Each structure stands twice: as C-alpha cells, then as structure tokens.
Amino acid sequence: MYVQGQCLPMSAPMLMVLSSLLFASMGVCVKLASALYGTGEIVFYRGVIGAVFIYGLTRWRGGSVRTRVPAMHAWRSVVGVSALLLWFYAIGRLPLATAVTLNYMSSVWMALFLIGGAVLLGADKVDVRLVATVLAGFAGVALVLQPTLERDQFQAALAGLLSGMLAALAYLQVTALGRAGEPEYRVVFYFSLGGATAGGLLALLGGLHAHTWYGAALLLATGLLATSAQMAMTRAYAIGRTLTNASLQYLGIAFSFIYGVLLFHDAITLTALAGMGLIVGAGLVATRLRHKAVADTAAVNTSDA
C-alpha cells in the first residue's frame, strides 16, 4: 500500500487475510493446471519461480541465502515438500474446499502430537480438552468427506489428510529454524529450492508435458501467488499475535469454498459445511491450547531459573 510515494506497512491481520486469499487463489491455479500437468511438474515450477523470486528479493535487500544450518533446511524441505506434493495431488482430484480443509487439519494433528508426546514422557494426565479437540477434528473430516467423496477419490482424500499431518511437522521445523536465527526469506528460499529439486525429479520420471500460453500462465501464477502468500503469512506470524493469525488463516477455507462454488460448481451441503465448521473450531481450540502450553512452560522455566 502506497501513499505519496511512501510504503505503508500492513498490519498482521491484513497480512493474514491477504495470505489466505492468495493461497486460495493459488489453489484455483493448481486445480486448473492439474488438467494439463502432473503434480511433480506443478511443484517443480512453483519451486523454481519461488526460489528465483526470493533470491532476487534477497539480493536487492542486501541479504544472503547462506546458512549455518543446512541439515535443518534439508529436513524441513523433505517434510514440507512432501506435504506440498500430497496437497497439490488432492487439489487436482477433490473439490477445492475439501482439499484445502483437509490440509488445514495441521493444527489438529499438532494437538495429537502433543498428546503422543505427553504419553511418551510418562505424563500422569493427558489434557482432556486436547483429546476432545482431536476427536472433533476427525469428526469434521468424516462429515466433509461423507457427502463428497466418491470411490475413486479415496486416495486423494488420504493424500489431503496426510498433507495436513506433514504440514504440522513442517511447522515445528520452521519454528526450530526461527529459534536458530534463520530469517523467514531464507526458510522460504530453501523450501522453494527443495520443491524445485523434488518436483523436477518426479517430472522427469513421469514425463514432461508441452506448454501452452494458458498452461504457462497458470504455472507462473501458482509460483507467484504461493511465494507471496507464504511471505505474507510468515511476516504476519513474526509481527502479530499467534491466536489472531491462526483464526484469520482459516479464511482460506471460506475463500476456497467460494471459488469452488463459483468456478467449479462444487456442491453445497449442510453436512460438509458442518464438517468444515468442526475442523475450524477444533483447529482454533488446538492452537489456543498449544499456545497456552508453550506460555506455561516458559513461565515454569523462568521461575526455575
């Protein structure tokens, strides 16, 4: 946003709304491109465009993509790119809002990880609220898939669900990279580079498709929208409140639902809407409980010191 030649910084809520809209728009491009290209090809071009864009922006700002923790970036790329491949595969074969909703199960998966961690560490009690949150999230998945899932879509639905689980793991790795002092642009750069590498290998194995102006425009839009959305979201989490950002992030489901109805004539059912509502609610509660658990741990560590 510019006023009299000066750039006005966007607030965290505005950045999250913008990011959600851009990610939903990217989903539209991915779904359209899936009719012309394989999943590996789409991820490859998304990665190449993202890496070039971030590298140019970094050089322009006088930054550097050199890192002291290449192994952390490599592991984050393996998990994050796997999630991306599964998500793009699901988008191409499921109703847009369904695929996006399954990916947004990441917060519920993180709640499940917390429960598993507590059990492994021998905790006397497991937070009942976390258990209820996980159950509500998976009940939402059942409602979302029940009216829309056809027999030949089971594999895509499983891919979408797994993409959310891997996205949760990738989020934990991004947090670790932040604690290691890695700036957001470097994290996005190496993730894009990982996507270009993995997508390129899959594209070579699966065969490359010829380009048309329409197809090339979809691939370019996918890369630019995804990178811009990722940068906006990363910046929002850096300057804003976690709970507010998490709440606004779920607007991506609403935007995707509107796109799906208007552009792809996806069916509207009360059952699917109820399932989406359950997943959003479970995700928000899971984020709040996780945020509180981190704050309580920090308080205990401070008092012990």
Residue 70: the pLDDT is 93
Q: How far is CA 113 from CA 5, 116, 120, 266, 292, in A?
A: 48, 5, 10, 33, 15
53 in any annotated domain: yes
Please report which confidence band the pLDDT of residue 298 belongs to, taking 50, 70 and 90 as the band edges.
very low
Residue 172: the pLDDT is 81
Nearest CA among 255, 253, 234 for reference residue 245:
234
Residue 150: the pLDDT is 62
Please tell me which residue, 262 or 109, carries the higher pLDDT value: 262
The pLDDT of 79-105, averaged and rounded, is: 92
- pTM for the full predicted model: 0.84
119 in any annotated domain: no
Tens of pLDDT along 7-64?
446 788 888 889 999 999 999 999 999 999 999 999 999 999 999 999 998 999 888 9
304 in any annotated domain: no
Q: How many domains does the chain have?
A: 1
280 in any annotated domain: no
2 in any annotated domain: no
CA gap 3, 253 in Å, rounded: 32
Q: Which residues constitute the domain of residue 197?
A: 12-111+152-266
Q: How many CA atoms lie within 13 A of 242 on its CB side?
A: 15
121 in any annotated domain: no
Q: Are 193 and 51 in contact (CB under 8 A)?
A: yes
Residue 149: the pLDDT is 56
Residues in Cβ contact with 92 at an 8 Å cutoff, skipping those fewer than 6 apart? 30, 31, 34, 35, 39, 156
Nearest CA among 274, 245, 243 for reference residue 257:
274
253 in any annotated domain: yes
87 in any annotated domain: yes
